[in-house]
C-alpha cells in the first residue's frame, strides 16, 4: 500500500500523489483511475468533466450518459488507446476541447 502512483497514465509523473477524493466511475474504471492516475490529473479531469456535462447536456441519472462520461474520462486520463475511440467521432475529447472556451476563474 502506497500513497503514490508509480507512473501516472496521463502525465507520466513518477511517484505522484494519489487521488484522495471520490471517484464517480464504475468499479473497473475507478480501480484503474485510482491506481494509475495522479491527483493533479484527476483535478484536471474534474474541470473537464464539468465542460462535458454542459457541452453534451449529460444527465448523470441516465446510464447511457454516464457511460459517455466514463468514456471521455478514460480517454482524458490516458487509460484508453485512441484507436478504440474511432467509432465515436462526435463525442470525442478533441471535439470538446475545440468547443470549450475558458471562463473567468473568479467564481
Residues contributing to the site for Zn ion (CB under 5 A): 8, 10-11, 13, 38, 41
Q: Between 54 and 82, name the residue whose CB sits nearer to Zn ion.
A: 82
* Helix, coil or strand: residue 7: strand
User: What is the closest distance, in whole angstroms, from the C-beta atom of residue 106 to Zn ion in the complex?
Assistant: 27
CA distances from 9 to 35, 65, 102, 104 (A): 9, 24, 25, 29
Question: What is the Cα–Cα distance from 7 to 64, expressed in whole angstroms?
Answer: 31
Phi, psi of 52 (to 5 degrees): -65, -40
User: What is the closest distance, in whole angstroms, from the C-beta atom of residue 16 to Zn ion in the complex?
Assistant: 6
User: What is the closest distance, in whole angstroms, from the C-beta atom of residue 55 to Zn ion in the complex?
Assistant: 23
Cell numbers found for residue 100:
470549450
Q: Between 40 and 91, name the residue whose CB sits nearer to Zn ion.
A: 40
Q: Between 8 and 58, name the residue whose CB sits nearer to Zn ion.
A: 8
Amino acid at each position: 500500500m502506497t500513497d503514490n502512483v508509480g507512473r501516472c497514465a496521463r502525465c507520466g509523473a513518477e511517484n505522484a500523489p494519489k487521488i484522495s477524493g471520490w471517484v464517480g466511475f464504475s468499479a473497473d474504471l475507478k480501480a484503474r483511475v485510482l491506481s494509475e492516475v495522479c491527483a493533479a490529473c484527476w483535478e484536471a479531469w474534474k474541470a473537464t468533466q464539468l465542460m462535458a456535462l454542459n457541452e453534451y447536456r449529460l444527465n448523470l441519472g441516465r446510464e447511457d450518459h454516464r457511460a459517455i462520461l466514463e468514456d471521455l474520462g478514460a480517454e482524458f486520463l490516458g487509460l484508453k488507446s485512441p484507436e478504440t475511440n474511432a467509432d465515436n467521432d462526435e463525442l470525442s475529447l478533441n471535439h470538446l476541447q475545440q468547443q470549450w472556451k475558458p471562463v473567468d476563474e473568479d467564481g
